[in-house]
Amino acid sequence: MNKIVRMIVVLGVIGLISGGTLALVYQWALPKIIENQIRETKAAIFKVLPETRSYKKVVKDELTYFECFDDRGERAGTAILCKGNGYQGEIKLMVGVNADFTKFTGLTILEQVETPGLGAKIAERKFFKQFKDLATKPPIAYVKGRPPEKPNQIQAITGATISSRAVVNIINKTVKEWLEIQ
């Protein structure tokens, strides 16, 4: 009996001390973590819409997007947060469209777990720069093994068609949903 009490007391005390310590550390770390997330979002918005000076976050239905304004306070465009399934897991990305929705202004991959050296190339400049100045209508299409001919086409990464297609599909689907709620 005595032994059982001792076991419970010792474990209880260790747990209490551990919990208390963690509460303190968490309080210290939380503002920094939030700050990092905000900085990350800002950096992403700036990458897809470089003219942005200020932005307003909008959450509507299941979509999150950012109305962006330039230095004169005029609408520069919208940065839309998109996510969907890639080859191995979820891909999160942000895509920018200009104010009158005629072209994409840029793409940045926020999170991806595609195959290193193959699908992971979607996060490389060579791939995502193709989305700059890409026509928004008709929806993006991809071509394999040759340079794109139409203004709405991009070239898929050799050996990683599934990842390339996933990016295109995620953007097309999210942009379509975004247009519906405008």
Binding site for other proteins (CB under 8 A): 3, 6-7, 10-11, 14-15, 18, 21-22, 25-26, 28-29, 32-33, 36, 40, 111, 115-118
CB of 35 to other proteins, least distance (A): 9
CB of 133 to other proteins, least distance (A): 28
Phi, psi of 167 (to 5 degrees): -60, -50
17's torsion region: left (phi>0), alpha (psi -120 to 50) or beta? alpha
Q: Rank residues 138 and 159 by Cβ distance to other proteins and give the closer one.
A: 159
Q: Rank residues 11 and 179 by Cβ distance to other proteins and give the closer one.
A: 11
Helix, strand or coil, per DSSP, at residue 79: strand
Q: Rank residues 18 and 85 by Cβ distance to other proteins and give the closer one.
A: 18
Q: Rank residues 27 and 182 by Cβ distance to other proteins and give the closer one.
A: 27
CB of 165 to other proteins, least distance (A): 20
Helix, strand or coil, per DSSP, at residue 31: helix
CA 51 – CA 170 distance, rounded (Å): 25
Is residue 167 within 8 Å of 122, Cβ to Cβ?
yes
DSSP conformation class of 121: G
CB of 6 to other proteins, least distance (A): 5
